Amino acid sequence: MIGGLFIYNHKGEVLISRVYRDDIGRNAVDAFRVNVIHARQQVRSPVTNIARTSFFHVKRSNIWLAAVTKQNVNATMVFEFLYKMCDVMSAYFGKISEENVKNNFVLIYELLDEILDFGYPQNSETGALKTFITQQGIKSQHHTKEEQSQITSQVTGQIGWRREGIKYRRNELFLDVLESVNLLMSPQGQVLSAHVSGRVVMKSYLSGMPECKFGMNDKIVIDKQGKAGSSEDGGKSGKQSIAIDDCTFHQCVRLSKFDSERSISFIPPDGDYELMRYRTTKDIILPFRVIPLVREVGRTKLEVKVVIKSNFKSSLLAQKIEVRIPTPLNTSGVQLICMKGKAKYKASENAIVWKIKRMAGMKESQISAEIELLPTNDKKKWARPPISMNFEVPFAPSGLKVRYLKVFEPKLNYSDHDVIKWVRYIGRSGIYETRC
Amino acid sequence: MTDSKYFTTTKKGEIFELKAELNSDKKEKKKEAVKKVIASMTVGKDVSALFPDVVNCMQTDNLELKKLVYLYLMNYAKSQPDMAIMAVNTFVKDCEDPNPLIRALAVRTMGCIRVDKITEYLCEPLRKCLKDEDPYVRKTAAVCVAKLHDINAQLVEDQGFLDTLKDLISDSNPMVVANAVAALSEIAESHPNSNLLDLNPQTINKLLTALNECTEWGQIFILDCLANYTPRDDRESQSICERVTPRLSHANSAVVLSAVKVLMKFMEMLPKDLDYYGTLLKKLAPPLVTLLSAEPELQYVALRNINLIVQRRPEILKHEMKVFFVKYNDPIYVKLEKLDIMIRLASQANIAQVLAELKEYATEVDVDFVRKAVRAIGRCAIKVEQSAERCVSTLLDLIQTKVNYVVQEAIVVIKDIFRKYPNKYESVIATLCENLDSLDEPEARAAMIWIVGEYAERIDNADELLESFLEGFHDESTQVQLQLLTAIVKLFLKKPTETQELVQQVLSLATQDSDNPDLRDRGYIYWRLLSTDPVAAKEVVLAEKPLISEETDLIEPTLLEELICHIGTLASVYHKPPSAFVEGSRGVQHKRLPGSAGSGESVESPDTSSAAGLSEAPPAVIPSQGDLLGDLLNLDLTPPATTGPTPPPSSGMQLGAMDLLGGGLDSLPPIPLRTDTPQSPQLPHQSPSPPDYSPTELGGDLGGSPAMGAAFGAPPAVMPASFNAPVSGGLDDLFDLGGGVGMTMGAYSPPKTIWLPAMKAKGLEISGTFARRAGVIQMEMTLSNKAMSVMTDFAIQFNRNSFGLAPAGPLQVLTPLNPNQSIEVALPLSTVGPVMKMEPLSNLQVAVKNNIDVFYFSCQYPISMLFVEDGKMERQVFLATWKDIPNDNESQFQIKDCHLNSDAVSNKLQSSNVFTIAKRTVEGQDMLYQSMKLTNGIWVLAELRVQTGNPNYTVSLKCRAPEVSQCVFQSYEAILKN
């Protein structure tokens, strides 16, 4: 199991050091600093073995988090734990920065004592942790006996992510379907790979212990219902259903029920959380098409023309569009003409950045650039990195639709109809690249 | 006011000041002081001098302060054991506190204080806490047992904590169950033989129930524990799988991968024809792909695991090639791993796409990545024959880019392609030669030199090219020197007239001016060879090389099996068994996959036994598996059970020592000399040579095993003599450390039978047999004249037959055969005669003529006559071939009533050129993996099962020409029973 956990700043100074196991000595702290943080060459693996000690690290801005072990631990678990650790810290004090870590070191030690015991991760749900790790030590003494046992039963219980007795005057929930659409396209416009990775994020402000059921236009479910229900209805909804390649759920979702009935039922945590992630690869709506044209004119000049076409309903508006056209390292000057938005050559980033604030569907726009090059005797050809794009669209490129989210709370007197529900769809670009 | 200020105090006299503050009356000040102490401790300052003062602050109502003091205690108690005892009272008191959080905190902290005296006091509170009414306390106490066990294992056993811990598996709270499982698993690891975790269907059922209810971490503990269980039969296996599969949709990747581990392992037990088996295979792919959209670090771990999964069960992800395409912004470690998997998944169906991608990658920035991409193109060429041509042209395009490292890498892989497809792509040599000057890396130079030497006859200025390298001979690396030496000798043998001077020069450079023993020895060998017997030299140096295999970089199957049992863990990231990187007893226990129910369809799981126990049958014959040295050197771990007399399974120590000396002498294969190709370049990934033995080229070349080089270099004087002995044996004996019998017996030859009775042939009686002597097939006959008149003018002819047997010379009956006289003749046979398939296969129709008449008879030869001396396959090749040959071609036979042990069997067969490549012992059953090659190049692979005490052996034969199986089996039987 995890033998120790260290947090360093960018200089390699240790900010937090917690050792859980006897086989990890103080020298491990230095070994990581010397061999990874200060390594001459950039480290090429997130797992490093130094003198039979294994180090797992992740970086958050310029803070290094490292877990150390001498055993054959579950590596996936260690990384998952490190991420979770980051989540917990952010939930307590915001951004993970040197300043914040130093200011909250007592809290971090307290958290580390709670969520990792002898190197075994324990309950690390912030909702539960916040009930008893408060940084107001004296207050915790005044918990009544009931309160105390409520805390412990929550921390260890089946529903560790939610506490009893939550009350809201207005029962409300917000569902965000956030998708990132990824594309790799060949210069000829052939889709080399495309997939959508989506998340359903929920903000729930519901009283009591509500039992929720979430439904979407999952092809498997709809086909099943189509068979059971009337054929007409099945045909109609079948058209709009989508094939989900795979999905994963927050631990509140009853997985065995999903496995057997493909229904998503759960008791949600209070507040913000991610209900599910999913992945689709079929029938993806690619919101933009990029058509590049690069011509080398002699050895010192490049002509680049890029056309972008928006491919969605004309009534919808895409936002925050940014096209990034890489330029060779020996670029000396760039002349740009664009039909829409603003374009700039950024020498420090070796790229032309073309920004358009808004663009409606079924439109097209174009940029042309003349790139002057310094003559070099470098034999190596320019690698021509792909043209990448960023954007945001108000629909789900996978075609996912939320069909319902039903809330039942038998003990309290509110019904599904009393809950105010909001649904929003946002499609963003993930890695959206076209080779040129 | 912020806490970060505590990190900045560096004043002198700080300790003194802190002491004062710690003893202050004001609570706030005290707390501030403790915080300062902890901050100093964090940055590595020694604040142990404050021990008594800090401990004094322990008695407080302030939980936060208490926790800080505990933190301090955990750090320094060990260095101040006497004072630490002061804290005991508080702990014991806290363990009785009405607040469960405080009780748990006390028991948690106490377990972290590794001071014997404190440990004694811990027992009573721990016992209470294990039975506490509050689950939070119980789950903390469960882990505490593991802590205590780490400090004092005996104490834990004596106090009966293990039993209490076992009871907690039935606890009503899922988290208590999970922690108890984690603690028990850890304790069980250090007691490999204890039945601590006593996994039986009832406990498994409890675990599976808790699995649905506990936290994500608890699910991981439980799944990892489940993976150690071996179900009794396929039905139990299936029912567990069914209950584990829902975990594949968990958001936590570790839960997913641990579930994959359980499924991969239990799947082994499911019959392949079961519907559920197929369903399960389908269910595994999507979650594995989903792991690739996790954070890069998790992607890396996932990819390393997918690499293993793809090797074990390629069918799972065979359609998912695209998801492994590299993204421009992937971190380099993700890119490199994806590339590896792409090659593993490359097949005829997707090769076009893969190649297009690889070509794209070859223009990227990162040098390592580009190199790997270029190398990958070469591997595709070798793996997918249909793509070879396209790969070669892609590589040529890349060479045209003139990017130095791309060119060099391309040349290295083109050399491999030449090895795989000889005489096919030599037209590109000219282009390669153009780049000669730009090569500055040893590997590329060596590859180029090999190409020039190998195709010297087609390169007009080969001598000039090689001569140009010779100028700076002593500045070259050993690899290049060795290659240059061989290449020039080859050149000389091909164009002796013009290159005499050159060869003289290189030989003297290698033998007189070099202080590298390998180079010198190789030089001397060539020198003697050339001066004693140039014809033999030609045969040796220019011999036909064995083809290289496509799967040279597969993980050795026993290791792969073990790694599959460790999916998700560090072992699967390093691709090394835990014993290679874990100290002490933990993790040394080797895990194995359970035997499959569906019979041995592949080499890795040939045992039919349905429930091979996990810990009960450690493969004793493979002691070097646990050998740390071997692991570290990244050597092929399991030595091929030598076909020569293996020493009786000796202790790991002994073999370990041998390893040290010879870099794996125990894996020394008895290689017949004729097959050897001193000039064959060693493939970069074929046999990883141990780092301390880098110049083992010669060894690698001659023996196919790096170990050989070590043994070989020592007595070079013997070489010329042994070169004449075409049968393996001489050498084998010389280097056989086991000191056994070696090859005293010859190949099996059946007793003579009468082929042609005198009645039918006007008084001529012919009895005879076949034998293979010194690599030559002989027909040995006794001709008896039972007639009244003298017989003369004997001649013999064969009808066309299955293997093209034909007399290699005339029948040597020189003197006339008088009445009642017999004569023994041995007729050497060649296998280059006309071929026609006979029925039965080994039937031979013979015509003998003498002065009286022509007589016809037919006889059958044992097919073992046709087993050639170089029939020993490389282990990797064997594996790949075994997999490659469809199962329909497999046939199984029983050999009854044979009373030999496996070593004797192996020896006997070896003398008839049936070579044992590897040996495994599974539950008292020895499995011998053998290969033999027929004169016409057909390979026959065999798996022979020998069970001690059971006189019936089972032999499974696989061959691309299944017709020969029956004959081969007959030979097996004949050889073994003889």
Return the pLDDT at B744. 40
Collapse the DSSP code of B238 into the 3-class scheme (helix H, G, I; strand E, B; otherwise coil) and give the result. helix
Q: Is B360 on the interface with A (CB under 8 A)?
A: yes
The CA distance from B428 to B435, in Å, is 12
pLDDT at B607 > cutoff 60: no
Q: Write down the ipTM of this complex.
A: 0.83
Give the angle B929-B930-B936 at the CA atoms, nearest 5°: 150
Residues of chain A positioned with their CB less than 8 A from the CB of B563? none
DSSP-assigned letters across all residues of A214-265: EEE-BHHHHHHHHHHS-HHHHHHHHHH-B---EEEE-TTB-HHHHHHH--EE
Nearest C-alpha in B relative to A59: B297
The CA distance from B476 to B446, in Å, is 10
Chain A nearest C-alpha distance from B405 (Å): 10
Name which of A85, A132, A156 to mutate to probe chain B: the one with the most chain B Cβ atoms within 10 A of its Cβ: A156
The CA distance from B225 to B180, in Å, is 11
Lay out the sheet containing B806-807: strands in order across: B753-756, B764-773, B776-785, B822-830, B806-807
Name which of B37, B189, B297, B400 to mutate to probe chain A: the one with the most chain A Cβ atoms within 10 A of its Cβ: B297
**What sign does the CA torsion over B710, B713, B717, B722 have?**
positive
Highest mean pLDDT among A84-93, B711-720, B767-776: A84-93
Lay out the sheet containing A63-69: strands in order across: A14-19, A4-8, A63-69, A53-60, A47-50
Residues of chain B positioned with their CB less than 8 A from the CB of A104? 3
Return the pLDDT at B291. 93
The CA distance from B401 to A143, in Å, is 74
pLDDT at A184 > cutoff 70: yes
pLDDT at B604 > cutoff 50: no
B85: confidence class by pLDDT, cuts 50, 70, 90: confident
Quote the DSSP letter at residue B825. Answer: E
Residue-wise pLDDT tens digits, B659-700: 333 333 333 333 333 333 334 333 333 333 333 333 333 333
Residue-wise pLDDT tens digits, A256-315: 889 888 899 999 998 889 999 999 998 999 999 999 998 888 888 889 999 999 999 999
Q: Which two tokens stand for residue B198?
A: 């006593």
A233: confidence class by pLDDT, cuts 50, 70, 90: very low
Rg for chain B, CA atoms, rounded? 35
Quote the DSSP letter at residue B639. Answer: P
Count of residues making up chain B: 978
Quote the DSSP letter at residue B4. Answer: G
The CA distance from B532 to A22, in Å, is 67
Report the amino acid identity of residue A378. Answer: D
B392: confidence class by pLDDT, cuts 50, 70, 90: very high
Pick the range with the lowest mean pLDDT from A382-386, B40-44, B568-572, B632-636.
Answer: B632-636
Chain B nearest C-alpha distance from A201 (Å): 13
B595: confidence class by pLDDT, cuts 50, 70, 90: low
DSSP-assigned letters across all residues of B872-940: PPPHHHHHHHHHHS-GGGEEEEEE-S----HHHHHHHHHHTT-EEEEEEEETTEEEEEEEEEBTTS-EE
Contact between B229 and B199 under an 8 Å Cβ cutoff? The reply is yes
CB contact under 8 A, B301 and A75: yes
Pick the range with the lowest mean pLDDT from A224-233, B195-204, B358-367.
Answer: A224-233
Higher pLDDT, B258 or B121: B258
pLDDT at B713 > cutoff 50: no
Quote the DSSP letter at residue B482. Answer: H
Chain A nearest C-alpha distance from B146 (Å): 8
The CA distance from B581 to B587, in Å, is 9
B732: confidence class by pLDDT, cuts 50, 70, 90: very low
Mean pLDDT of B420-426: 83
Residue-wise pLDDT tens digits, B476-525: 888 999 999 999 999 998 888 888 888 888 998 888 888 889 999 999 99
CB contact under 8 A, B217 and A124: yes
DSSP-assigned letters across all residues of B53-108: HHHHTTS-S-HHHHHHHHHHHHHHGGG-HHHHGGGHHHHHHHTT-SSHHHHHHHHH
Q: For chain B, how far is it from start to end, CA to CA, in angstroms?
A: 94
Q: Is the N-terminal amide bond of A397 cis, ω within 30° of 0?
A: no
The CA distance from B773 to B828, in Å, is 9
Residue-wise pLDDT tens digits, B326-337: 988 899 999 999
Closest to A206 in 3D by CA, of A31, A38, A409, A14? A409
Name residues whose C-beta falls within 8 Å of residue A401's C-beta, 6 or more positions apart in sequence.
Answer: A216, A217, A240
Q: Which two tokens stand for residue B874?
A: 């490389």
Return the pLDDT at B813. 79
Pick the range with the lowest mean pLDDT from B283-292, B396-405, B672-681.
Answer: B672-681
Name which of A9, A72, A142, A376 to mutate to probe chain B: the one with the most chain B Cβ atoms within 10 A of its Cβ: A72
Q: Is B531 on the interface with A (CB under 8 A)?
A: no
Residue-wise pLDDT tens digits, A319-336: 999 999 999 888 999 999
A139 burial class (0-12, 13-18, 19+ CB within 10 angstroms)? exposed
Residues of chain A positioned with their CB less than 8 A from the CB of B101? 132, 140, 148, 151-152
Name residues whose C-beta falls within 8 Å of residue B776's C-beta, 6 or more positions apart in sequence.
Answer: B808, B828, B829
Name which of B27, B217, B438, B589 to mutate to probe chain A: the one with the most chain A Cβ atoms within 10 A of its Cβ: B217
- Which chain A residues in 286-305 lie under 8 Å from chain B, judged by CB atoms? none
The total of other beta-carbon atoms located within 10 Å of residue B654's CB is 12
Chain B nearest C-alpha distance from A220 (Å): 15
CB contact under 8 A, A248 and B287: yes
A379: confidence class by pLDDT, cuts 50, 70, 90: low
Residues of chain B positioned with their CB less than 8 A from the CB of A44? 332-333, 336, 368
Closest to A388 in 3D by CA, of A321, A310, A319? A321
Q: Is B3 on the interface with A (CB under 8 A)?
A: yes
Return the pLDDT at A315. 94
How many CA atoms lie within 13 Å of A156's alpha carbon, on the beta-carbon side? 25
Quote the DSSP letter at residue B718. Answer: G
Highest mean pLDDT among A62-71, B456-465, B742-751, B872-881: A62-71
Mean pLDDT of B938-950: 82
Residue-wise pLDDT tens digits, A399-410: 999 999 999 988
Contact between A395 and A284 under an 8 Å Cβ cutoff? The reply is no
Residues of chain B positioned with their CB less than 8 A from the CB of A184? 325, 327
Count of residues making up chain A: 436
- Strand-pairing partners, residue A55, are A48, A68
Closest to B223 in 3D by CA, of B195, B181, B183, B281? B181
Q: Is B137 on the interface with A (CB under 8 A)?
A: yes
Return the pLDDT at B555. 86
The CA distance from B351 to B365, in Å, is 24
Which H or E run contains B536?
helix B534-541
- Which candidate from A105, A120, A245 shows the least CB-CB separation from B182? A120
- Which chain B residues in 364-393 lie under 8 Å from chain A, judged by CB atoms? 364-365, 368
pLDDT at B526 > cutoff 70: yes
Return the pLDDT at B240. 93
Closest to A305 in 3D by CA, of A317, A314, A297? A297
CB contact under 8 A, B587 and A72: yes
A371: confidence class by pLDDT, cuts 50, 70, 90: very high
Cα separation values, B614 from A98, B188, B257, B945, Å: 48, 13, 21, 21
Return the pLDDT at B596. 53
- Which candidate from A137, A145, A246 shows the least CB-CB separation from B98? A145
How many CA atoms lie within 13 Å of B70's alpha carbon, on the beta-carbon side? 26
The total of other beta-carbon atoms located within 10 Å of residue B159's CB is 18
Which H or E run contains B628?
helix B628-632
Phi, psi of A14 (to 5 degrees): -80, 130
Q: Is A142 on the interface with B (CB under 8 A)?
A: no
Return the pLDDT at B973. 83
Collapse the DSSP code of B407 into the 3-class scheme (helix H, G, I; strand E, B; otherwise coil) and give the result. helix
B300: confidence class by pLDDT, cuts 50, 70, 90: very high
B712: confidence class by pLDDT, cuts 50, 70, 90: very low
Q: Is B245 on the interface with A (CB under 8 A)?
A: yes
pLDDT at B170 > cutoff 80: yes
The CA distance from A100 to B389, in Å, is 59
- Residue % of chain B over a pLDDT of 90: 23
Mean pLDDT of B439-459: 89
Q: Which two tokens stand for residue A390?
A: 């960023």
Report the amino acid identity of residue B221. Answer: F
Q: Strands B890-895 and B854-860: what pairing?
A: unpaired
Report the amino acid identity of residue A229. Answer: G
Closest to B952 in 3D by CA, of B973, B971, B970? B973
Q: Which two tokens stand for residue B57?
A: 């602050």
The CA distance from A390 to A180, in Å, is 10
Q: How many CB pairs under 8 A join A and B?
A: 296
Return the pLDDT at B704. 35
The CA distance from B848 to B856, in Å, is 6
The CA distance from B126 to B168, in Å, is 14
Residues of chain A positioned with their CB less than 8 A from the CB of B217? 77, 81, 120-124
Rg for chain A, CA atoms, rounded? 26
